[in-house]
Amino acid sequence: MYFSRGRAVSTAILAVAVIVILVAAGGGYYYYSTVYAPATTTPIKIGVVIQESGFLALAGVPGLTAIKIWANDTNAAGGLLGHKIQIIAYDDASDTSKVPALIQKLISVDNVDFLVTLGTVDTAAAMPVASQSGKIILGLFGTNANAGINYSKFFQAAPIGPDPNYDQVKGYFELANSLSPKPQTVAFVAVQNDFGQQCAIGGAKAVKVFGFRIVANETYPPTQTDFSSLMTKVKSTNPDIAFVCSYPPDSIGIVQAAKEVNFVPKLMGGGMIGPQFTALEAALGKTLQGVVTFAYWVPEPTINFPGVNTLIQKYEAVANASGAAAFDPLGYLYPPYSYAALQMLGQAVTACNCLGNNDQLATYIHGHTFSTVGGDMNFTSFGEWTYSRVLWIQYQNIAGASVNAFAGPGHQVIVWPATYKSGNLAYPFPGWQG
């Protein structure tokens, strides 16, 4: 059969393009595993489905790095009950639809002992398959992912609390309630996705509890580019409190637009995901001064749990050595509780001495408190923390637009809860700077 050279070239190019598409579409299946410390005995396999690429890799890469640091630390100390730790990690490319199949592969093919996922959406996607396996599931930051399933072997590591929607945001309103003069009115701005919806539901509950009045209740699509009109509209309602539930790119756009239209409520912030990421902090610089948002850990002296600073040093060394922009150079948000979750598991496996009996291990975890780099943690029957320790921080003493301007204590000052308070809230919001 005649087959011209040109046709062969174009066919080959097409084939390459199709392969590239298939590989990319297949995502995680081709980002196979990182294995630590070859086992001298049967290793304990920890299967991780996480976002190593895609838009949520900003969370997944630091989280996985902390898991690897824990594995290295544990193996260096002789492993768990004499077994080395083996991490098998698959990248779901921030594509939730890939999660169930990857979880199934970890269970059926890799025969892992424990399962780990990160983020509410991915964890929720993993739960139907994972909960059938009978294995312990660690849902890092998988808030409320066990709702409706009530799987007894699920444990969520972030310190949010037993009523996740409400506990995640109640501190912001409790803080507002404690101010003098007490602010009265609230404007809600929420992104139209699962996070925004849950955040707004929690906020609405808090508004009722503390007796505020909602004067604006705005939502926006995740594709929103410009927030000027939205902020102008919110400003026209003259609220005392701005309560924003936003994702990373939007948080930046909202802060920029609020400053541009000179929207100055008495309390500016809310459940904003984004300012916590160092690259975005550095880009906004002094503009963040006075903004209040949540955190789970910050390098303030009032929340210096044993081992957390060592972890951060190790994390920052890995991040600096990699030179890859995938890393959050400071790592205050995801690494502490990712590491803490595995630390809790390690303590439980060792103390229970019941490796292989997940029912017994889960019962042990439910019945005990664990001391970790994220502080003491214990769990409700559905796997959330029994108490809330979400921190509310205010950006203060921001010297400029660089990573260093946000590094170390004194820049993300804890203003709530009182137990961990490291400074006073600048109130009313002093207005936009920078």
Partner 1 sequence: MAFDLLLESIATGLLVGGFYAALSLGLTISFGLTDIANVAHPAFIFLGAYLALALSQAFHLDPIVSGVVLVLPFYFLGNALYLFYNKAFERRGESSLAGLVLFFGLLILLEVGMASEFGVGLKAIYSPYGSVALNIGPLSLPLRFVYSFVAGVAAVVLLQLFLTKTFQGRAIRAVAQDAQALSLMGAKPATVKLIATGVSMATAALAGGLILAVGPISPYQDRLLIGRVFAVVVLGGSGSVLGTLLGGILLGVSENITTIYLGAGWSLAVSAVILLAVLALRPSGILRR
Query: What is the Cβ-side half-sphere exposure of residue 346, based on CA atoms within 13 angstroms?
Result: 25
Residue with tokens 């490796």: 355
Q: How far is CA 296 from CA 4, 135, 232, 234, in A?
A: 63, 27, 31, 28
Provide, rounded to whole angstroms, the least separation between the CB of residue 20 and partner 1: 5
Distance CA 96, CA 193 (A): 14
**For residues 191 and 393, which CB has a smaller minimum distance to partner 1 in the complex?**
191
Q: Is the Cβ of residue 130 or residue 280 nearer to partner 1 in the bound state?
A: 280
Smallest distance from partner 1 to CB 257, Å: 7
Q: Which residues bind partner 1 (CB under 8 A)?
A: 6-7, 9-10, 13-14, 16-18, 20-21, 24, 52-55, 57-58, 61, 94, 192, 218-226, 228-230, 232-233, 236, 248-249, 252-253, 255-257, 259-262, 274, 277, 279-280, 282-285, 287, 324-328, 401, 432, 434
Rounded to 10 deg, the angle between the 194-210 and 120-130 helix axes is: 110
Separation in Å, CA 53 to CA 57, 207, 269, 278: 5, 37, 29, 18
Handedness of CA 371, 377, 380, 382 (dihedral sign): negative
Nearer CB in complex with partner 1: 54/428: 54
Nearer to partner 1, 257 or 344 (CB): 257
| In the complex, minimum distance from the CB of residue 226 to partner 1, in angstroms, rounded to a whole number | 5
Please list the helix, strand and coil fractions of the chain in percent, rounded to the nearest 5, in that order.
Answer: 45, 20, 40
Contact 44, 57 (CB under 8 A): no
**Least distance between partner 1 and beta carbon 184 (Å):** 20
Cβ–Cβ contacts within 10 Å for residue 199, how many?
Answer: 26
Q: Name which of 310 and 322 has its Cβ closer to partner 1.
A: 322
Give the residue with the Cβ less far from partner 1, 262 or 310. Answer: 262
| Least distance to partner 1, CB of residue 159, Å | 24
Structure tokens belonging to residue 74: 């544990």
Rg (CA), the chain: 23
Question: Which residues have a Cβ under 8 Å from the Cβ of 9 and sit 6 or more positions away?
Answer: none
**Both tokens assigned to 338:** 């990712």
CB atoms within 10 A of CB 14: 10
By beta-carbon proximity to partner 1, the closer residue of 13 and 418 is 13
Taking the complex as a whole, how short is the minimal distance between the CB of residue 26 and partner 1, in angstroms? 11
CB nearer to partner 1: give 3 or 356. 3
Structure tokens at 86: 């083996």
Pull the structure tokens for residue 264: 């100055």
CB of 379 to partner 1, least distance (A): 30
Please say which residue, 14 or 209, places its beta carbon nearer to partner 1.
Answer: 14
Give the Cα separation of 134 and 257 in Å (integer): 48
Q: Report, in Å, the least distance between residue 13 CB and partner 1.
A: 5
Least CB distance from residue 360 to partner 1, whole Å?
Answer: 39
Kind and range of the H or E run holding 257 = helix 248-260
369 vs 206, 247, 267, 301, CA distance in Å?
28, 32, 36, 23
Residue 186: CB minimum distance to partner 1, A: 17
Nearer to partner 1, 323 or 356 (CB): 323
